């Protein structure tokens, strides 16, 4: 039987790392097995469903360039792929469960249920949850009350005795005593919509899903799902619960750790290739050494048996490193369109760009290509080339243990030495600075650093001489003069 897997999100919020990892594992497993990957929207909780979240889901996977074989937008033989459009099917099967004695209507009011809970709490009762008050109502009586329009939900009968188990492909055998399963969960709400459990298993069955790869937090629902499959007389799919995604502190990854939603990574300057590669390594490894995997590699290499049982740790620094590597792998000619939106957003180039700006950026790219971890780093790296520098700080301009007056001398000599620098090669200019430092008995760094800060406004910049070539001699000299004036004003102020 051909593998069929699904990603079944409930769009209530933005796509986050955990969800995307579930989707990727499903996608790569399907591709590697020559099977199908399906998107199903689980929107039975209409109060929490959001259109915006659904759009974010489409945008996220479009950006990642991950596509499903069947889904709401592309159709397929087992649609509709949105649960709110499948109500009739759920109703039909819910009726069947009632008919066959596996489910029953419950007329208990919210007040009554609250009271039951209070009493259980007071009595420190071992049994928590619904007290099965309506389980043994006479079916004829119950039917009459429904026909009279009495509000009710439908509950599933959990067997009172025995055990239920399933064999998870990662976690091994999971066993529960039936008495430990939530007593008779609601499968159909009073609004006539199914709960997650009922809809989920009916759909997995009808969509011919063979493997359920989902987050570990769904393990407790497993036994209930198995009992539902049994009640229908259907074969359950293979379950495969994925290890948790943790922060470095061992806590479940959350906003406290940093960005978690994909849109934040997208806007923050990450490349989809880096996200796919790194997120896949959180809880999966090919062997002990290989780290780089393209989407195409994973489409062939991904296997379930290499998913770890232990939680995966999401390391933001490691992701940044991967991202830098992927920027390096991107040919220079393709970097410009990637950084342009960041430069435009920062107001550093016009929108649309002028041809002068365009050419300037072309010449900048070799200087920053090796230095970016995030695409957004281009803003800081190019600021001094694309915008003016006219403020400095004493702190930045003064090397350690060097006085203002000395830095003034240094900058004045540097300026003289720089005369005509544009006509010399980078190596020649470096030699000029070497010779100057030697002649004056200065450390090379004590010469370079003030010049760098004067010209770029920052201590961290792309290579200095290359940068000066780009901004040209006039601007370079003007900035050194500006910094000199700033220092002189400060020197006088000190006296």
Residue 229 interacts, among ligand GLU, Zn ion, none and using kind-specific CB cut-offs from 5 to 8 Å, with none
Total residues interacting with Zn ion, rule: CB under 5 A: 4
Residue 108 interacts, among ligand GLU, Zn ion, none and using kind-specific CB cut-offs from 5 to 8 Å, with Zn ion
Instruction: Please say which residue, 10 or 330, places its beta carbon nearer to ligand GLU.
Output: 10
Give yes or no for residue 8 binding ligand GLU (CB under 6 A): yes
Give yes or no for residue 321 binding ligand GLU (CB under 6 A): no
CB of 150 to Zn ion, least distance (A): 11
Give the active site residue among 121, 163, 248, 255: 255
Q: Are 349 and 387 a contacting pair, CB within 8 Å?
A: no
Q: Which of 134, 304, 449, 484 touches Zn ion by CB under 5 A?
A: 134
Examine the residue annotation and report whether 92 is marked as an active-site residue of this protein.
Answer: no
Using CB under 5 A as the binding rule, the residues of this chain from 74 to 113 that contact Zn ion are 106, 108
How many residues are given for the chain? 495
DSSP string, 389-445: -----HHHHS-TT--HHHHHHHHHHHHHHHTTGGGS-HHHHHHHHHHHHHHHT--HH
Residue 225 interacts, among ligand GLU, Zn ion, none and using kind-specific CB cut-offs from 5 to 8 Å, with none
Q: What contacts 24+ positions apart, CB below 8 Å, involve 54-59? A: 54/11, 56/11, 56/14, 56/15, 56/262, 56/263, 57/9, 57/11, 57/15, 59/263
Give yes or no for residue 42 binding ligand GLU (CB under 6 A): yes
Give the binding range for ligand GLU (CB under 6 A) out of 5-13, 56-64, 285-293, 305-313.
5-13
Give the binding range for ligand GLU (CB under 6 A) out of 3-11, 271-279, 290-298, 402-410.
3-11
DSSP conformational letter for 218: G
Q: Rounded to 5 degrees, what angle do the CA atoms 207, 212, 214 make?
A: 130
Q: Are 467 and 461 a contacting pair, CB within 8 Å?
A: yes
Residue 382 interacts, among Zn ion, ligand GLU, none and using kind-specific CB cut-offs from 5 to 8 Å, with none
Three-state SS annotation for 312-379: EECCHHHHHHHHHHHHHHCCHHHHHHHHHHHHHHCCCCCCCCCHHHHHHHHHHHHHHCCCCCCCCHHH
Using CB under 6 A as the binding rule, the residues of this chain from 163 to 222 that contact ligand GLU are 196, 200, 214, 218
Binding site for ligand GLU (CB under 6 A): 8-10, 42, 196, 200, 214, 218
Active-site residue numbers? 255
Binding site for Zn ion (CB under 5 A): 106, 108, 133-134
């Amino acid at each position: 039987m051909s593998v069929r897997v699904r990603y079944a999100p409930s769009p209530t919020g933005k796509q986050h790392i955990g969800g995307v990892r579930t989707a990727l594992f499903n996608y790569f497993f399907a591709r590697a097995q020559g099977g199908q990957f399906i998107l199903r929207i689980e929107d039975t909780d209409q109060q929490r469903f959001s259109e915006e979240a659904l759009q974010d889901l489409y945008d996220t996977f479009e950006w990642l360039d991950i596509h499903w074989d069947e889904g709401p937008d592309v159709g397929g033989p087992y649609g509709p792929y949105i649960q709110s459009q499948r109500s009739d099917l759920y109703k039909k099967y819910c009726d069947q469960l009632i008919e066959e004695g596996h489910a029953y209507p419950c007329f208990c009011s919210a007040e009554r249920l609250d009271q039951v809970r209070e009493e259980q709490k007071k009595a420190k009762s071992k049994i928590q949850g619904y007290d099965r008050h309506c389980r043994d109502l006479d079916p004829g009586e119950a039917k009459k009350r429904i026909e009279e329009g009495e509000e009710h939900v439908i509950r599933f009968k959990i067997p009172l005795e025995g055990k239920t188990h399933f064999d998870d492909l990662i976690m091994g055998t999971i066993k529960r005593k039936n008495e430990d399963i939530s007593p008779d969960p609601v499968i159909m709400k009073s609004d006539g919509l199914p709960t997650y459990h009922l809809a989920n298993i009916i759909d997995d069955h009808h969509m011919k899903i063979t493997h359920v790869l989902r987050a570990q937090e769904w393990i407790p629902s497993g036994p209930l799902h198995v009992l539902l499959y049994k009640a229908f007389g259907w074969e359950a799919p293979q379950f495969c619960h994925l290890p948790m995604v943790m922060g470095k502190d061992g806590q479940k990854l959350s906003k406290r750790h940093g960005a978690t939603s994909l849109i934040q990574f997208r806007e923050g300057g990450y490349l989809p290739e880096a996200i796919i590669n790194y997120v896949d390594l959180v809880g999966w490894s090919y062997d002990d050494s290989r780290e780089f995997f393209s989407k195409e590699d994973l489409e062939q290499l991904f296997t379930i048996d290499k998913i770890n049982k232990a939680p995966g740790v999401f390391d933001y620094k490691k992701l940044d490193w991967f991202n830098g590597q992927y920027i390096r792998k991107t040919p220079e000619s393709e970097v410009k369109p990637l950084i342009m939106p960041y430069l435009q957003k920062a107001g550093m180039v016009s929108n649309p760009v002028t041809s002068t700006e365009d050419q300037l950026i072309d010449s900048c790219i070799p200087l920053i290509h090796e230095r970016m971890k995030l695409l957004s780093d281009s803003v800081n790296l190019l600021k001094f080339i694309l915008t003016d520098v006219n403020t400095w700080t004493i702190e930045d301009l003064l090397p350690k243990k060097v006085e203002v007056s000395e830095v003034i001398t240094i900058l004045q000599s540097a300026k003289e030495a720089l005369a005509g620098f544009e006509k010399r090669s980078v190596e020649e200019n470096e030699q000029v600075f070497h010779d100057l430092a030697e002649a004056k008995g200065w450390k090379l760094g004590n010469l370079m650093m003030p010049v760098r800060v004067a010209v770029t406004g920052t201590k961290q910049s792309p290579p200095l001489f290359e940068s000066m070539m780009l901004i040209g001699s006039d601007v370079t000299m003007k900035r050194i003069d500006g910094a000199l004036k700033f220092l002189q004003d400060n020197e006088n102020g000190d006296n």
